[in-house]
Amino acid sequence: MKKNRFQEVLSRGQIPIGHMIVDFNVRGLAKMLEVAGLDFVVIDMEHGGFGHAGVADLVAWFKATSVAPFVRVPVGTYPFIARVLDTGALGVMVPNVKTGSEARTIVEAVKYRPLGGRGLTFGSAVNDYEGVPDVSEYMREANERTTVICQIESHEALDHLDDIASTRGIDVLWVGQFDLTNSMGIPGDFKNSRFHSALKQVIATAHKHGKHAAIQGGSVAQLKGWAELGFDALSYSEDIGVYIAAVSDGVKDLRAAVARPAAEGTRHE
């Protein structure tokens, strides 16, 4: 089974750096992002347009690299979770987890026995088309290497944070800052003291229960500030934002570099 680079970086006391894939589905993407130095990616089925086949393609391409492929499912139900894990994904992110009960349902879908009730299948993409001579050992290893991420995106989740974080099998509390601030009545106000307190609450609660705290940002400066608060894992923007920003900056600079005076119009009597 492919090693989980996200977990390996954390085990060394370092911060894994990731990226979210919302729209791009090209065969060279996985290798490009490996060359860029990423530790993990999150393939987005919640806000992105990916169906199961698109996810399966991306996971297969990423498994040929050192980058750990995770998938954000639209909802935390067994049919979505089990199918993306059977593509070979090394982790699953579930949006807007609000209670410990929801967290336990997610673990039940992700983990094999004795931690959960995930169904068994072998000899396909789930285990790189290899045989499984020892099923019990395979289940143990898969449980260890599969990362479970709960997104904290509401005031309800903050109220039940201890219950979510203490759930056996949950690995990461990931703040969804736009939805969280919206739920708090301060949409997009990341400088608000209430939001700052919420971030510190998530970090402290995750660490109290031996879990990790993660967040995605749109700039190095923003992510540096959040890392200084104590976040353990960071995701740098998404494919659409990075591409638009890079092309926009290049076009702006090029236009400035080659600008010519506008030709005077011909006067017609």
HEC string of 197-257 equals HHHHHHHHHHHHCCCEEEEEECCHHHHHHHHHHCCCEEEEEEHHHHHHHHHHHHHHHHHHH
Residues written for the chain? 269
Q: What is the Cα–Cα distance from 126 to 130, expressed in whole angstroms?
A: 9
Q: Quick check: 230 and 215 in contact, CB under 8 A?
A: no
Q: What is the pTM of this model?
A: 0.94
What does the pLDDT read at residue 262? Answer: 85
What does the pLDDT read at residue 264? Answer: 73
Residue 261 domain flag: no
What does the pLDDT read at residue 263? Answer: 82
Write out the H or E segment, with its range, that includes residue 162.
helix 161-165
What does the pLDDT read at residue 206? Answer: 98
Residue 268 domain flag: no
Domain holding 168, by residue range, is 5-247
Residue 259 domain flag: no
Low-confidence ranges of the chain (pLDDT < 70): 265-269
Here the CATH number for the domain that contains residue 146 is 3.20.20.60
Residue 236 domain flag: yes
Q: What is the Cα–Cα distance from 111 to 106, expressed in whole angstroms?
A: 9
Q: What is the Cα–Cα distance from 172 to 232, expressed in whole angstroms?
A: 9
Residue 190 domain flag: yes
Count structural domains, the chain.
1
Residue 262 domain flag: no
Q: What is the Cα–Cα distance from 78 to 163, expressed in whole angstroms?
A: 21
Residue 253 domain flag: no
Residue 269 domain flag: no
Write out the H or E segment, with its range, that includes residue 269.
none
Q: What is the Cα–Cα distance from 50 to 203, expressed in whole angstroms?
A: 31
What does the pLDDT read at residue 245? Answer: 96
